[in-house]
Amino acid sequence: MIAEIVTVGTEIVSGSILNTNATILSEKLLELGIEAYYHTSVDDDKLRLASVIDIALNRADLIITTGGLGPTKDDLTKEVIAELLDLELVLDSNMEEKISQMFLDMNKSMTENNRKQALKPKNSIFIENTIGTAPGIFININDKKIIMLPGPPSEMTLMFDNYVIPLIKEDFYVLTKSINTIGIGESTLETKLLDMNLSTRETNITTFAKMGTVEIKIIGKGKNRNKLKNEIDNITLKLSKELKQYIYGYDNISIEEVVLDMLKERKYILGLCESCTGGLIASKITRIPGASNVLDRSIITYSNQSKIDELNINASTLKKYSPVSKEISYEMAKGLLDKSNIDLAFSITGYAGPNTKETEEDVGLIYMCIMTKYKYKVIKCKFSGDRQSIQDKAAIKALNEIRMFLLKNH
């Protein structure tokens, strides 16, 4: 089954919003063994939308659309698809009732344009939307399945998980395994993979570079689930041996999750002090449920005074060395470790730029320090790019350094 995801909306093709829906849906389809070969986005123009749907009907067996089901005059997906398939739009009085009840519940009055959300193409089925006003629609016609979902990612994700999966699941398996690496370039990795020559008739290995890390993805397709799983496990094992030093996790686990799990396992309590990353590392860690079992506190000491107040750094030390120096990164970690009841202190200080006070040469220069009661390590690094990309790279590097420190000191 070939799938195409059509995301509808001027906001997408005009660059106002990121197209997260296509990414989310592709990922979910792949888990069901369905590959999306095409993503198409088009603006809210009736003719162009119709031409895009027409092309999709010709090349895909499953078409999932998002967007264009809302109440406004720009919302045309349902109308265009009904017209292309020559299906009349009919008012569903149950749905009309439901939508008006929803507005009552929210203490809002239903505007006239919300009523058109109760229309559906003849012989189609509504897909329930429990957290929004626009229901989805399922059409099964001429061996094609068409699923229309609303645009808001939270709504369409919930609807996909709860109602769409049973409508499209099939008896053919695509299994995938991801191996996540850091510290090795994509082309070096590919050369290595080609040399190892591990692909089989039913499996394929590709690499994807992402923000300082490279994902190795093994994709297997076939009718025999167990055989496929064995082949993939076998390849994974060989790669894991060969690339051990670069692997930080599997199946796109984030480095912060790996670090959190390692800390939990060791019953270590973490404390952070961040300067140049300004809370980014803490924010990454606290994105994860259960972070409160591991992270005690994070002190973001942005001003020099705050470094003195919060981390007991000597004003003369600050003056003698620059605030971005191995000495200060050490002092920051030490100040944090001394004042709080934590097992592991991590500090980071650097120039994220752009700044006229520093010489251009220093932008991207960063010092980190990892410290326990028994030992410490200072890391010096230099990143290129703009302010945000320096912060992003530094945060990934920081988490990986903590991971490696924990590996060596367990």
CA-only gyration radius of the chain, Å: 27
Instruction: Return all residues near 119 (Cβ < 8 A) that are at least 6 apart.
Output: 78, 89, 90, 91, 92
Give 237's contacts (C-beta < 8 A, 6+ positions apart).
none
Minimum separation from the CB atom of position 123 to a copy of itself (A) = 29
In order of 75, 95, 124, the CA distances from 90 in angstroms are: 17, 11, 10
Range 132-161, binding a copy of itself (CB under 8 A): 152, 154
What the block records as the tokens of 51 is: 């031409």
Dihedral over Cα of 223, 63, 164, 82: its sign: negative
Which residue among 101, 162, 314, 340 contacts a copy of itself (CB under 8 A)? 340
Nearer residue to a copy of itself within complex by CB, 243 or 363? 363
Q: Which of 30, 87, 95, 404 binds a copy of itself (CB under 8 A)?
A: 30
Tokens 């609303």 label which residue?
Answer: 150
| Shortest Cβ 226–a copy of itself spacing (Å) | 23
Window contacting a copy of itself (CB under 8 A); options: 88-96, 206-214, 229-237, 374-382? 206-214
Q: Can residue 277 be called a binding residue for a copy of itself (CB under 8 A)?
A: yes
In the complex, least distance from residue 103 CB atom to a copy of itself, rounded to whole angstroms:
10
- Report the nearest approach of a copy of itself to the CB of residue 351 (Å): 10
Q: Does 62 bind a copy of itself (CB under 8 A)?
A: no
Stretch of residues binding a copy of itself (CB under 8 A), selected from 201-209, 221-229, 235-243, 364-372:
201-209
- Applying CB under 8 A, which of residues 354, 359, 373, 380 lies at the interface with a copy of itself? 354
Q: Provide the token pair at 327.
A: 């000495």
Beta strands 173-182 and 213-222 are antiparallel
| Residues in region 75-94 near a copy of itself by CB under 8 A | none
Q: Scanning residues 5 to 24, which ones bind a copy of itself (CB under 8 A)?
A: 10-20, 22-24
Three-class DSSP labels, 185-231 = CHHHHHHHHHHHCCCCCCEEEEEEEECCEEEEEEEEEECCHHHHHHH
What gap in Å lies between CA 88 and CA 86, rounded to an integer? 7
Nearer to a copy of itself, 148 or 273 (CB): 273
Residue number with CB closer to a copy of itself (68 or 124): 68
- CA pair distance 280, 258, nearest whole angstrom: 17
Binding of residue 385 to a copy of itself (CB under 8 A):
yes
Nearest to 381 by CA among 399, 395, 394: 394
CB of 101 to a copy of itself, least distance (A): 17
For a copy of itself, the binding residues in 164-183 under the rule CB under 8 A are none
359 lies in the site for a copy of itself, by CB under 8 A: no
- Rounded CA separation 365/263 (Å): 28
**What's the min distance (Å) between Cβ of 325 and a copy of itself?**
17
Question: Is residue 115 part of the contact set for a copy of itself (CB under 8 A)?
Answer: no
Nearest residue (CB) to a copy of itself, 295 versus 371: 295
Q: Which of 317, 387, 404, 409 binds a copy of itself (CB under 8 A)?
A: 387
* Minimum separation from the CB atom of position 335 to a copy of itself (A): 13
Burial 377-392 (b: 16+ CB within 10 A, else e): bbbebebeeeeeebbb
Q: Which stretch binds a copy of itself (CB under 8 A): 65-73, 229-237, 243-251, 367-375?
A: 65-73
Q: Report the amino acid identity of residue 147.
A: I
Q: Which is nearer to a copy of itself, 122 or 287 (CB)?
A: 287
* Angle value at C-alpha 16, between 286 and 287, nearest 5 degrees: 5
